[in-house]
Amino acid sequence: MRNPQLNPAGELQHLLSIEGLPRAILNQILDTADSFVGVTEREVKKVPILRGKSVFNLFFEPSTRTRTTFEIAAKRLSADVINLNIAASSQTKGESLLDTVANLSAMQADIFIVRHVASGAPYLIARNVKPHEHVVNAGDGRHAHPTQGLLDLYTIRHYKKDFTQLTVAIVGDILHSRVARSLIHGLTTLGTPEVRVIGPQTLLPTGVESLGVKVFHDMKKGLVDADVVVMLRLQNERMRGALLPSAQEFNKYYGLSLDKLALAKPEAIVMHPGPMNRGVEIDSSVADGPHSVILPQVTYGIAVRMAVMSIIAGN
């Protein structure tokens, strides 16, 4: 079975998941993002790479941050951006996912940025678009959020240079996290020797070790000598459904405080995909402290998304 995100030449046709992408393509995206970081710091923040192309933001699930960063990225590449808040339109009228996409395709789309509550939805769309159209997964269910994973990789590379010497700890709700899955695949592909996941058993998916990670239930053990600490957002709804007793208890055992951070390496960086629940998974003293690279992550996110769109549009 051919990887559905690669074209017959083995180049990136769609970006659906980091899993299965060769190291060379990951490096190509990160290197290209490097060149765009310069653009975002210029006074005139535009390059003409996607001039005349249409990028459709197709968000079947609400999002502000990711949608906005895609929009900024597309505009800096000079593309026309159309935002569709599908949750409020055709889907509620009973139109099928593929009908929606076919209609937009008839409006001459070049790139679809898709977020959907169902894992795998972007694969279905990618299977049904025209050959010149591209799909970028902006988050599907619990499955993948590849541009977030790539911007996390970019941030780690920026601060730590060499993946092959690192210990990365990912903490919190791994079970529901597409961010964690994407980052894990990226880190293992780039040769990170130790990727740890830390959380209570209720928030770790069955057989998570098979993704190539070490499991810790005790955060204090899991953080020891970590170079990178990635905190995940804990949704309030996890308190329902018997996954967790309370936000307070979660904070005490799995929230990142200065005390716990002190167990990691002195020069460790702290990341978070946002939006943060201060006082739940991360204390303000850490989020705003010297180890935090949470805001640079957002900035790099734009460059990484520019890189992804420019590469797939050129293939």
Partner 1 sequence: MKILIKGGRVIDPASGRDAVGDVLVDGERIAALDNAARDATVDRSIDAKGLIVAPGLVDICARLREPGFEYKATLESEMEAAIAGGVTSLACPPDTDPPLDEPGLVDMLRRRARSLSRARLYPIGALTVKLAGERLTEMAELSESGCLAFTQANVPLDDTQVLWRALQYAGTFGFAVWLRAEDLSLARDGVAHDGEVATRLGLPGIPAMAETIALSRLLHLVRATETKLHVCRVSSAGGVALIRNAKAEQLPVTCDVAIHHVHLSEMDLGYFDSHCHLVPPLRSLRDRDALRAGLADGTIDVICSDHTPVDEDAKQMPFSESEVGATGLELLLPLTLKWAVETKTPLAKALAKVTSDAARVLGVKSGRLEAGAPADLVIFDPAAPFHVAPEALKSQGKNTPFIGYELAGRVRYTMVDGRVIYGEVRE
DSSP at 150: H
State the minimum distance, in angstroms, from the CB of residue 178 to partner 1.
6
Half-sphere exposure (Cβ direction) of 54: Cα atoms closer than 13 Å: 14
Could you give the angle at which helices 23-41 and 294-314 cross, rounded to 10 degrees? 110
**Taking the complex as a whole, how short is the minimal distance between the CB of residue 304 and partner 1, in angstroms?**
21
Read off the amino acid at residue 309: M
Smallest gap from residue 272 Cβ to partner 1 (A):
20
CA dist., res. 76 & res. 308, Å (int):
13
Closest CA to 230 of 184, 168, 290, 286: 168
Smallest separation (angstroms) from partner 1 to the CB of 180:
10
Q: Among residues 201 and 206, whose Cβ is nearest to partner 1?
A: 206
Helices 23-41, 178-189: inter-axial angle, 10-degree rounding: 110
**Between residues 177 and 292, which has the closer beta carbon with respect to partner 1?**
177
Question: What minimum distance in Å lies between the beta carbon of 182 and partner 1?
Answer: 10
Location of structure tokens 């240079």: 161
d(CA 53, CA 78) in angstroms, rounded, equals 8
Among 262, 263, 261, residue whose Cα is nearest residue 271? 261
**Closer residue to partner 1 in complex, CB, 97/294:** 97
CA distance 191 to 207: 21
Identity of the residue, 19 or 133, whose beta carbon is nearer to partner 1 in the bound complex: 19
- In the complex, the smallest distance separating the C-beta of residue 181 from partner 1, rounded to whole angstroms, is 6
How far is it between the farthest Cα atoms of the chain?
56
Residue 218, both tokens: 């005790």
Of the pair 40, 128, the CB lying nearest partner 1 is at 128
Nearer CB in complex with partner 1: 120/296? 120
Residue 62 preceded by cis peptide, ω within 30? no
Q: How far is the CB of 164 from partner 1 (least distance, A)?
A: 24
Contacts with partner 1, residue ranges (CB under 8 A):
1, 4, 19, 96-98, 116, 118-121, 123-124, 128, 140-144, 178, 181, 205-208, 210-211
Identity of the residue, 121 or 282, whose beta carbon is nearer to partner 1 in the bound complex: 121
